Each structure stands twice: as structure tokens, then as C-alpha cells.
Amino acid sequence: MRLRNKPWAKDFMAEHPEMLIMDSEGKKSHWAEEFGNPQPIHIEVGTGKGQFIIGMALANPSINYIGIEHFDNVIVSALEKAIEAGKPSNLRLLRANGEDLENIFADAEIDRVYLNFSDPWPKTRHEKRRLTHAKFLQKYEGILKPGGEIHFKTDNRSLFEYSLVSMTDYGMKLLSVSLDLHANMPEDNILTEYEEKFSSKGQPIYRLEAEYPIRKKI
């Protein structure tokens, strides 16, 4: 995907620190203080233009949400939408790289991870870049509370099958698997921008929920 340059993005982002965090330094272990309450925290890695995470925040005021996105020209669109939605107090956008999660969040600080329409990185040599590779599963496990969950959606069948195997091999328990989410769509499903686009073309949407095992400490 080619990103269109938005030279005004950085200034606009800097004007809204109450909604968008551009530097997570000092936030690790203190995210509850950032929100001002002890509510559960759910994160979306690769939040894109923000439709999903904003929708989740509006629908679930008793949960805090953090949408993580690496690209200024993308997250600024999420910021615009969040402002239009009234700046939900239980939502923060974070400009950061998903590679750095363990430097952003403390052990067991997060309750759930969402991965929506992640880049499939189809070439074998790029396998470790897939957000459901064991390398990333280990990162998520470190920041999630024991028994934490990953909820994953994609339109890419190959990535979905890869993710099923990757999570199973990692020792995770598959709680829910759907090969056509919209054929029997849950009432609480919040659509992403990509989900709307692909489903309108008749493309099936694949979804899974997976739970980490509660491992005994040595």
C-alpha cells in the first residue's frame, strides 16, 4: 500500500496529546494512570484508520482501548475520526511500532490483543514479519495477563491457515474459528475499513479467538 504524504500530519497530531500519544516513554506500567481508572485494557496492533478501535471504545465504555499504528499518514486519519466521535475518554491512539510492545507495556498489563487485516507477508523469507509468527506471539504473551486472548480477523485465507497452525504450535487454545464471519455475523462485531471493503465484494472474512495457556512459573 502506497501512503500519501500528509505534510500537516505531525503538527495536527502534536495538537491533540489528550488523544494521541506520540512518545510512550514513561507509560510502561502506568497505562491505568493514563486513563485514570483500573479498567481492563485492550490493544489493537496495526489500528490503521481507526474505525474498529473507535467503534469498540464507543460500544464498551467499561474497557480502555489503545490503537497502535506506526505510520503518521495513517494514524492521523484515526485521530480525525476519534475527534469526530467526541474523543472517547476510554480511547488512546499510540504512534509506535508493534515490534516494541515489551518496551511499551509491562508484564500482564494488557487484557486482550486485536489483530485486524494484518499484512500477510506472503513470501517465506518474510515469515517473521507476520504478526501471528511465534516471535510476535511471545511478545503478546509477555504483556497479556495469564490466559489472555488474541482476536484476529483477515480476508487472507493463507494467512489465516498459517495463524491457526502458528497459534496451535505455540500452545494456544482456539476458542472460536470462523471461515465466513459475515454468514452468521455476531451482533457485537465491529467492522474495520478493510472488512467493509472486502465483504462488500463477497470476500469471506476469517476470524479466530485464541487463548494463551496459563503457564506455571519455574
Q: Which residues are identified as catalytic?
A: 119
Bridge partners, residue 203, by sequence: none
Give every CB contact of residue 103 below 8 A, 6+ residues apart in sequence: 24, 28
Please report the DSSP string for the chain in residue order. Answer: -PPPP-TTHHHHHHT-TTTEES--TTTTT-HHHHHTS---EEEEES-TTSHHHHHHHHH-TTSEEEEEES-HHHHHHHHHHHHHTT--TTEEEEE--GGGHHHHS-TT-EEEEEEES-----SGGGGGGSTTSHHHHHHHHHHEEEEEEEEEEES-HHHHHHHHHHHHHHT-EEEEEES-GGGG--TTPPPPHHHHHHHHTT---EEEEEE---PPP-
Residue 70 grid cell: 506506526
